[in-house]
Amino acid sequence: MIEISFGKLVLLALIALIVLGPEKLPGAARTAGALLRRVRNGWDSVRAEVERELEVEEIRRTAREAAAQAEAVQKEVEAGVKQVREPLDEAVATMKSAGAPAVDAASGGAPESPAAPVADAATGADEAQAQLPLGEPAAEPAPQPAAREPESSHGRA
């Protein structure tokens, strides 16, 4: 930056007074002040614009970093879900194959146990649970109303 001391300012003012004369000096000083103000305002607006652009770039960079971190976390969660889901799927498949009713040749092809429909219902519930998103409980069946005992007239009044 240009260094202007007080002595240099006095010398410039004296030269301006000699060159311009006392009548034109105030108008020239106003014009010079207005030009200097415009230059400063222009420089300040350019500096402010550059600072805004730098802030926008900083925000964009931060957003890209946050998106990359979120994507990495999502991949970790998906890998964890896959790790948990694979053994569960294998267990369900094993349960389904083991839960199939054995057919007795002596009874004419009828299942050995009367609990076979219950096993099929349980397998259906497992399938329904497997289709639900992770962490969401399966809907429980509505409770059956209890049978009411007939009220007697000699109990309470």
**Digit-coded pLDDT (tens) for 85-112:** 999 999 999 998 887 554 444 444 444 4
The verdict on residue 76 lying in a domain is: yes
Q: Does the structure show a pLDDT above 90 at 75?
A: yes
**Digit-coded pLDDT (tens) for 125-140:** 556 555 555 555 555 5
The verdict on residue 23 lying in a domain is: yes
- Using the 8-state DSSP alphabet, how is residue 125 labeled? H
Cα gap 36→30, rounded to integer Å: 10
The verdict on residue 47 lying in a domain is: yes
Range of the domain at 35: 12-86
The verdict on residue 5 lying in a domain is: no
Please count the structural domains in the chain.
Answer: 1
The verdict on residue 124 lying in a domain is: no
At 115, the pLDDT band (50, 70, 90 cuts) reads very low
The share of the chain scoring above pLDDT 90, in percent, equals 37
The verdict on residue 93 lying in a domain is: no
Of 121, 101, 119, 122, the C-alpha closest to 111 is: 101
Task: Calculate the average pLDDT of the chain.
Answer: 77
Q: At 91, is the secondary structure helix, strand, or coil?
A: helix
Q: Identify the bridge partners of residue 103 per DSSP, sorted by sequence position.
A: 111
Return the structure tokens found at 38: 């415009």
Cα gap 29→16, rounded to integer Å: 9
